[in-house]
Chains A and B, each alone.
Chain A
């Protein structure tokens, strides 16, 4: 695998994760639990969609085959998407959405802080820009996990259920393959195994404060590094892509 090929795949992994997450988060827009929170979550969705857009533009450029960012977003199939399984999981109730987001925000903060040091200038710049946004996201979602964990009995049950449901998708965030190996050598990629203990420490602290317990017997799911997904992704893409695909020559 050449550096360029690896860079393309790596960038897709990041862009797809952001794109699918933004797609999921924006399902809440106009349906939030109260107006201020509706606006706040939509804001997070917008930040993440902006990241996806920058990353897809860079992926398109890196690939160098004349495809645009829209081509990459709307004309790839289920088996060509590299987003992590966690982000494609259904929103569930607000606890599940917040918990998913909190796990990802904490990962993203560590990840993008490292990526900001990447030898690849474009990735470094995108990362640097994202850090400020993600810092706010972490604060927002972590404080909601605390509120749910220490709020009412119902909210505690809901957030604990969310953790039980989603924990099995967290190992995958740190998986590395040939793509990482190639780019680590070039000091372009982030060493995921190195940030894993830091992430675990942060998350443990949040969960402890919220009186939450990690589920005991969890079998960790995997697949997205090879574009193997849960059944949810197909439906997300069907909805997201139908219009451009129906009018393949049209400009929007």
Chain B
């Protein structure tokens, strides 16, 4: 048996060599805890994210857009599944994780506490929210924990589809009728700042970041990612002929990037605390689905038990 110093050395050398840490490997307790928190928050976000988008499946305005949206929401559920499975390799059960979500103890991405009010929101969510998610997730493909990294590789492929599909909706609206254009601009106006918040608070106020980067659980800082996102999205908005709702948005030649306004961080912390426009609805919907499904899960369990007994008796 190797002693404590050896296993820690081994862990650190994996980080240095860009090797993966696997479930059976020794890892520091804080690393495990941080991962469980991060992966399960991500899983919860996928599941909660199904709600605002699922909100428009029945009203999608064409057969094609209905198929695309239904498939997308299903993808998000699949992402949730991969991620819960990855979290379970760290020694926690899905029931525990869901319990934390349903009681409001666990966090999920605050973006899903905003409502999808019009069809254009489905475009804006795909374009902006999935777009922002990809920036985070691409970085996580190279994260240090093996199961997490592998889940992210599968997820990223699908997320980039989602982003393209969202942008396609925005294109159709932006080059469509006057009413469609207005719908698109209104959606951008409402989703721009909440999306910027997805990268988390400014680096100076983000206490967990430094350690997470050392562990390769995170690879770029919140501010770096936010800057990248703005630089990329501005061009896409210009192509659509839409205006980013920020008067301070301006090209900065020295930094070769845009200057922009910070989102309202007070609002951000409020939404995280549970005071966003849809926090209550999202949690209620999750809890209702879970409790309405209780008898189904019980029936499946009872049936499996009976089958087992029959096999043993036979």
Contact = CB atoms under 8 A, between A and B. Distances in A.
B78 interface: yes
A29 B51 CA distance: 9
A101 to B, nearest CB: 14
Interface in B145-167: none
Contacts of A216: none
A50 interface: yes
B253 interface: no
Contact of A36 (B67, B81, B179): B81
Interface of A is mostly: helix
B108 interface: no
A31 interface: yes
A151 B306 CA distance: 8
Contacts of B285: 30-31
A155 B61 contact: no
A74 B81 CA distance: 34
Contacts of B23: none
Interface of B is mostly: helix
A39 B299 contact: no
Nearest to A72: B63
Contacts of A52: 63
A73 B179 contact: no
A142 to B, nearest CB: 13
B234 interface: no
B74 A151 contact: no
Interface string A46-80: 10011011001000000000000110011000000
A251 interface: yes
B257 interface: no
Contacts of B292: 31, 33, 93-94
B70 A46 contact: yes
Given A38-B77, A250-B180, A155 B51 contact: no
Q: Kindly list the 7 A-B residue pairs having the minimum CB-CB distance in the complex, ordered from nearest.
A: A33-B293, A151-B299, A155-B299, A30-B50, A33-B296, A30-B54, A243-B61
Given A39-B81, A50-B67, A69-B63, 20 more contacts: A26-B58, A27-B58, A29-B73, A30-B47, A31-B288, A33-B292, A33-B297, A35-B84, A36-B81, A39-B78, A42-B70, A42-B74, A46-B70, A49-B63, A93-B292, A152-B302, A158-B295, A240-B58, A244-B62, A252-B172
26 contacts: A26-B57, A29-B73, A30-B47, A30-B54, A31-B289, A33-B296, A34-B296, A36-B81, A37-B293, A39-B77, A49-B66, A49-B70, A53-B64, A70-B62, A94-B296, A147-B303, A148-B299, A155-B295, A155-B296, A155-B302, A239-B59, A247-B177, A249-B177, A250-B179, A251-B172, A252-B61
Interface of A: 23, 26-27, 29-39, 42-43, 45-46, 49-50, 52-53, 56, 69-70, 73-74, 93-94, 146-148, 150-152, 154-155, 158, 239-240, 242-244, 247, 249-252
